[in-house]
């Protein structure tokens, strides 16, 4: 669209928006639809907060959020162990998953021939669509027995959860990273090659540094996926009620504890404590989004 077209279009639209009958109401309805998103996030926050208030009130912030002692029989609902479980598994998944995914993205964008690149891309899109129960079941019947045989532990635990999460974050990070790499100007690569740089030198000295923010955002969104993943992790992590520092220890994350206990939690503090875990998850997700916004805002004026 040329700029003069745009000028005419806005002139026409301004006129029609101001004078046409009923246009105001239409606009209002459309706006209402758009604000459903605002309304929804508010409603979710209010309801999850409201349901977690009984636990916060009766147990106190310290006993609920900053204690790792969780045992419904003794009325202890400290969730610190599960917060740690979420952090532990997420970082484990990132340490393996982010290099694998970003490397795959570089492969797709720079190394692979066009046809193979398209094939692998389709495969990764397909992987993104596999339901988490299916991946969890795969982990349960294959990864867990394998780990049991290799390590001599039960096979359930943090490491099995990490491997399952790697599978789940791989498509997210790869797709977004490949998009970022693709959006880099072609001159960057050409200039580097013209200076006599090899492909590898171009990739790690020019392309990866220029794509830094985009790759970071991709990794953070992958983290969001790992923090929120529930069913697949629940099937392989062992669902113990204590936190663990061992890679092969059984434990729970925030999400898996909610799913495991929700069915039998009587109303009052037991159920309310699970909503408080949901509240922590909600805040974690919001923090990630704010961080992403800050990164992309920083990036914009530079370009």
Partner 1 sequence: MTAKQWDKVATCVFWALGIIAIAILAFIILEVLGRGLLTALNPKFIFGKPKAMGSGGGIFPMIFSTLYLVVLAIAISLPISIGAAIYMAEYAKKGRINNFIRFCLDSLATLPSIVFGLFGVALFVTAFRWSYCLLAGAFTLAILNLPILLRSTEEAIKLVPDTYREASMSLGASRWTTIRQVVVPSALPGIITATILPIGRIVGESAAIIYTVGVFVRNVPLNPFDTAAPLAGYIWARQAEHGVPDWKTIVNGGAALLLIMVFIIYFLARWAGNRYQRKRLLGAGNK
> Interface with partner 1 includes 142 (CB under 8 A)?
yes
DSSP secondary structure string, 123-154? HHHHHHHS-HHHHHHHIIIIIHHHHHHHHSS-
Q: Which of 87, 120, 184, 188 binds partner 1 (CB under 8 A)?
A: 120
Taking CB under 8 A as the binding criterion, the range among 118-126, 152-160, 184-192, 209-217 that sits at the site for partner 1 is 118-126
Q: C-beta of 125: minimal distance to partner 1 in Å?
A: 7
Q: Taking CB under 8 A as the rule, does residue 160 contact partner 1? A: no
Considering only 68, 80, 87, 111, the residue that binds partner 1 (CB under 8 A) is 111
User: Of 54-62, 63-71, 209-217, 280-288, which segment contacts partner 1 by CB under 8 A?
Assistant: 280-288
User: Whole-number minimum distance, CB 151 to partner 1, in Å?
Assistant: 20
C-beta closer to partner 1: residue 55 or 246: 55
8 A C-beta contact, residue 67 and residue 139:
no
Minimal distance in Å, beta carbon 294 to partner 1?
Answer: 12
Q: Are 141 and 155 in contact (CB under 8 A)?
A: no
Site string for partner 1, 87-106 (x = CB under 8 A): -------------x--xx-x
Site track for partner 1 across 196-215, x = CB under 8 A: --xxxx-x------------
CB of 23 to partner 1, least distance (A): 6
| Residue 23 sits in the site that holds partner 1 (CB under 8 A) | yes
Cα 137 to chain centroid, rounded? 21
Q: Which is nearer to partner 1, 5 or 245 (CB)?
A: 5
The strand ranges marked E within 187-255 are none
Structure tokens at 187: 């001159």
Q: 238 in helix, strand or coil?
A: strand
Shortest CB 38 distance to partner 1, Å: 5
- Measure the CA–CA gap between 35 and 144, rounded to whole angstroms: 45
DSSP summary character for residue 265: P
119 CB contacts (<8 Å, ≥6 apart)?
none
CA angle, 42 then 59 then 158, to 5°: 75
Please choose, out of 59-67, 68-76, 192-200, 244-252, the segment that lies near partner 1 by the rule CB under 8 A. Answer: 192-200
Residue 60, CB-side half-sphere exposure with 13 Å CA sphere? 5
Pair 79, 280: CB distance under 8 Å: yes
Stretch that binds partner 1, among 122-130, 152-160, 180-188, 207-215 (CB under 8 A): 122-130
Beta carbon of residue 175, minimum distance to partner 1 (angstroms, whole number):
11
**Tokens representing residue 70 in the block:** 């969780």
Question: Reduced to 3 states, what is the DSSP secondary structure of residue 68?
Answer: coil
């Amino acid at each position: 669209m040329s700029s003069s077209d745009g000028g005419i279009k806005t002139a026409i639209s301004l006129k029609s928006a101001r004078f046409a009958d009923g246009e105001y109401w239409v606009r209002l309805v459309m706006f209402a639809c758009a604000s459903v998103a605002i309304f929804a996030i508010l409603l979710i926050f209010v309801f999850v907060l409201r349901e977690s208030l009984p636990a916060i009130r009766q147990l106190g912030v310290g006993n609920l959020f900053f204690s790792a002692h969780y045992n419904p029989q003794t009325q202890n609902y400290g969730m610190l162990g599960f917060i740690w479980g979420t952090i532990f598994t997420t970082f484990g998944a990132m340490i393996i998953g982010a290099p694998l995914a970003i490397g795959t993205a570089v492969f797709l964008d720079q190394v692979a021939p066009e046809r193979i690149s398209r094939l692998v891309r389709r495969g990764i899109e397909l992987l993104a669509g596999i339901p988490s129960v299916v991946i969890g079941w795969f982990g349960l019947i294959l990864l867990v027995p394998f780990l049991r045989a290799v390590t001599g532990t039960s096979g359930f635990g943090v490491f099995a959860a990490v491997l399952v999460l790697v599978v789940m974050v791989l498509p997210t990070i790869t797709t977004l990273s490949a998009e970022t790499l693709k959006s880099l100007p072609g001159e960057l690569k050409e200039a580097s090659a013209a200076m006599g740089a090899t492909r590898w030198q171009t990739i790690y000295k020019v392309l990866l540094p220029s794509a830094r923010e985009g790759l970071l955002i991709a990794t953070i969104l992958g983290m969001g996926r790992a923090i929120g993943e529930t069913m697949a992790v629940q099937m392989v992590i062992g669902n113990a009620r204590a936190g663990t520092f061992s890679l092969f220890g059984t434990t729970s994350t925030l999400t898996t504890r909610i799913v495991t206990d929700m069915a039998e939690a009587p109303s009052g503090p037991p159920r309310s404590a699970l909503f408080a875990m949901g509240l922590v998850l909600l805040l974690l997700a919001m923090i990630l989004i704010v961080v992403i916004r800050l990164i992309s805002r920083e990036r914009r004026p530079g370009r």
